[in-house]
Amino acid sequence: MGSVDMGIWTKRNEQPLFQVEGLTKYYGNRIGCVDVSFDLFPGEVLGIVGESGSGKSTLLSCLAGHLRPDLGSVIYDGRDVLAMAETERRKLSRTEWAYVHQNPRDGLRMGVSAGGNVGERLMAIGARHYGTIRDTATDWLGRVEIAADRIDDRPSAFSGGMQQRLQIARNLVTGPRLVFMDEPTGGLDVSVQARLLDLLRGLVRDLGLSVIIVTHDLAVVRLLADRLMVMKDGRVVEQGLTDQVLDDPQHAYSQLLVSSVLQV
Ligand SMILES: Nc1ncnc2c1ncn2[C@@H]1O[C@H](COP(=O)(O)OP(=O)(O)OP(=O)(O)O)[C@@H](O)[C@H]1O
Ligand SMILES: [Mg+2]
């Protein structure tokens, strides 16, 4: 462990923000995910990779409370998420958590202006002053590189990359501590992906976010994730520091995943 990154080391001296133990979800007889456990520390980014159908989205949905697991526990900041009343969990989702969908259409209100999409989240946490809401929305559009003169346009008039950036602004404007992302760069072309990744990396660092990010793309985790979890057939087959897993994968499936990318 001589090469442990000092940034991660510091983060790991604190209490975990999110503790997951034995999380299991079946769809009838079919495995969704089985016996998943990990700790996430404040400011840490956890990447989840694995082939299609390996249970990544199922796991993320269970973690974010969109899907009820069959077994296991999820503790956020010392609070038992699965035992919470639905109203309490929804409040968490509005305030301390955020969820970035793969398809921006699932995370945006397509009939509402860009400014409205961002402002609506502020209103949901109690903001009332129109001028302040509009100023904050303008500021956030700028942070995700959307020009201020597009504030009254609807997302349907935006490109896929712009929609995704708008979804990110809408999610981060409330200052969440924990952000779930399911393939945030999927479906975008490569140059757009690269810029979005840069932007995400800057925001994660500046805001000190804790992030759980699901992706097919090892370049995404290489750039963003401190730690990496590799899933296959619903199970975690390997987890560890990203550089360690990518540079020296131990499990045969992780080796395959890494080598297949190198050959591209
Ligand atoms: N609503 C559902 N009903 C029944 N089975 C489901 C449902 N959702 C997922 N599954 C099954 O659970 C398993 C895990 O699927 P999941 O969507 O979590 O995989 P994934 O890793 O996110 O895949 P992808 O990379 O394609 O998004 C698969 O076998 C899938 O068929
Ligand atoms: Mg998925």
Interval 65-105: pLDDT, tens: 999 999 999 999 999 999 999 999 999 999 999 999 989 99
Answer whether 128 contacts ligand 1 (Cβ < 6 A). no
Question: Closest ligand 1 atom to the C-alpha of 55?
Answer: 18
Q: Quote the pLDDT of residue 186.
A: 82
Answer whether 55 contacts ligand 1 (Cβ < 6 A). yes
Q: CA dist 246 to 5, 39, 193, 257, Å?
A: 15, 20, 21, 9
Q: Quote the pLDDT of residue 261.
A: 67
Q: Quote the pLDDT of residue 10.
A: 58
Residues 6 or more apart in contact with residue 110 via CB below 8 angstroms? 154, 155, 156
Q: Quote the pLDDT of residue 190.
A: 83
pLDDT: which is higher, 105 or 4: 105
Least confidently predicted of 9-13, 137-141, 222-226: 9-13
In the predicted structure, residue 16 carries a pLDDT above the cut 70: yes
- Ligand closest to 55 (CA) is 1
pLDDT: which is higher, 241 or 199: 241
Q: Quote the pLDDT of residue 189.
A: 82
pLDDT band at residue 6 under the 50/70/90 scheme: low
Answer whether 50 contacts ligand 1 (Cβ < 6 A). yes
Mean pLDDT within 249-256: 92
Tell me: the pLDDT tens digits for 189-231?
888 888 888 888 998 999 999 999 999 888 899 999 999 999 9
Q: Whose CA is nearest to atom 2 of ligand 1?
A: 27
Confidence (pTM): 0.92
Mean pLDDT within 53-60: 96
Mean pLDDT, the chain, as a whole number?
91
In the predicted structure, residue 40 carries a pLDDT above the cut 70: yes
Helices (H), the chain: 6-11, 56-63, 86-95, 104-107, 114-124, 130-143, 160-172, 190-207, 218-224, 242-247, 252-262
Q: Whose CA is nearest to atom 22 of ligand 1?
A: 57
Q: Quote the pLDDT of residue 194.
A: 86
Determine if residue 43 is left, alpha or beta; phi over 0 gives left, psi from -120 to 50 gives alpha, anything else beta: left
Of 24, 34, 57, 230, best ligand 1 pocket probe by most atoms within 8 Å of the beta carbon: 57
Strand-pairing partners, residue 30, are 27
Question: What is the Cα–Cα distance from 210 to 46, expressed in whole angstroms?
Answer: 8
Burial (0-12, 13-18, 19+ Cβ within 10 Å), 13? exposed
